[in-house]
Amino acid sequence: MKILVLNCGSSSIKYQLFEMPENAVLAKGVVERIGEEQSQATQRSNGETLTMAEQIADHEQAMQAIERMLTHDEKGAISSLNEIDACGHRVVHGGETFTGSVICTDELESVIDAYSELAPLHNPANLTGIRAARKMLGNVPQVACFDTAFHQSIPKVAYLYALPYALYREHKIRRYGFHGTSHRYVAREAATYFDKHKYAVDLITCHLGNGCSMAAIKDGKSVDTSMGLTPLEGLVMGTRTGDLDSAIIFHLVRKGYKPEVLDKIFNKNSGLLGISELSNDVRDLEQKEKAGNESAKLALDIFAYRIKKYIGSYLAVLNGCHAIVFTGGIGENSVAMRRRILSDLGNMGIELDDRKNTRIVGKTGEIQSDKSRIKILVIPTDEEGAIARDTYALTMEDVLV
């Protein structure tokens, strides 16, 4: 069974084609700069790289480009779109409605659209991708996999803000959390790694990339997470503020800043980029720090400090845990950042082994010392693979998620 997985952004579509149930990747690609004068498409399949440069006006044309690449005579993965049996989609916000992945229907599309006001940068693009795929693939089943679904197990004490309750009752203002597909994936992989049932592990999972979030996982279920109503809350990120005093907004409004300007500042111009005034990329900043740049060092220190604070708070929430799990581009690959985050935590039972840490880059492995009471695990995330498995499970009734 061949399953196409799509991750649609406002100006890009990332995709992977899987052979299920083997979970084998047949093709992996991305279409970028949709709507610009010169778009770029790249695909890797059967050890071959295929690139296209042309103007792609919208997501429908992007899907047509994906079709041409997947069915390319020499470097494609399939001969026809008729070989695709199902299509899975990443959808950022499912609100309180969805606790798992679901088959796409007209009614589902309406719900996704309704939640666009809570995720205006993501849900409209996700919905556009679903509609473009339905048009291209006809009656092939489409499945929506929600970033918020895994966090629906969070209790009220963790998801409610101390605002007038009417704001929750009338407008559903609450913590939802995101990166749920990634947190769920690494939690299940950690359980397998430790030879435990998926509902028998207590973990702190750290998804660290340009967007960052953490989750406290009790008995295999999310009980708290750092992102909130939107993906802005929580950790310092590449360009997002993370946690801040809400009164800053009122203060800046009185200074004459418009809401749309503040939205851009908090989401696009803050975080590592805002502090360093150099880059939103940890790799760039680590190089700048080595060259003696103090702004780069400060940005990295603040980034690590916020994560360390969340580790401490989640240890209190969980009353200890089996392991801390690092994933995402930074979590999987930055030896220096993991060292920065985990320094001076010995009295909490967390102690890094620097030699192990140096060896584990982009692969699964333990990096704690023999003295550490809590395991420290690196697990590369595979959100697309998780979406493919959900899609397969929902379209094959005899397969369990």
Which amino acid, residue 192? T
Which phi and psi angles does 11 have, rounded to 5°? -135, 20
Q: How far apart are CA 219 and CA 184, in angstroms?
A: 12
Q: Which residues of 354-367 are buried (b: 16+ CB within 10 A; e: fewer)?
A: eeebeebeeebebb
Question: Interior CA angle at 32 toward 30 and 34, to 5°?
Answer: 130
How many other CB atoms sit within 10 Å of the CB of residue 254? 8
147 catalytic, yes or no? yes
Annotated catalytic residue within 147, 202, 382, 390: 147
Q: Which residues are catalytic, by number? A: 147
